[in-house]
Structure 1
Amino acid sequence: MTQIGDRLTDNEDLVGMNVIPIAALFSGDFICLDYREKKEPVVVIWFHEESEVFSPVTEKVAPNIIEFFEMLSE
């Protein structure tokens, strides 16, 4: 986590991360909970190769964790 911590936030004054990894994908990317815009996180894929320090590149997968789990059970 220490190697990617600065790439999982867009706020250099924040202690910790506001994009929290919950699962690793085969390519080095992660499924994450993204707390940057709302109190309840959206589920995103974080792309490690495109992301830079304080500039995470993500794509929304589901509007919340419940809908994400429902997608997995389909």
Structure 2
Amino acid sequence: MAVIKNQKTGMWEVRTYYKDWTGTRRQKTKRGFAKKSETQEWERAFKLKDEMNINMKSKISRNCAFRIFSQELSTTRF
């Protein structure tokens, strides 16, 4: 979220937030970029990776829920 130039070193850094697997909000800081554009590119890639992880988790949980439901349905007698 924040791309900042460190005044002491002259290097760029990025601070961004994400939610881990427990739903806790975490901060990620990456330092040492020579160019602002490199910093922004890293941030975009990190956000994209985080978004893909969230999509996979929801897909996996839906598949697990369907599997449990279908097992219960197959053992139930009408």
TM-score (norm 2): 0.24
TM-score (norm 1): 0.25
Higher helix share: 2
Highest Rg: 1 or 2?
2
More RCO (CA 8 Å, sep 6+): 1
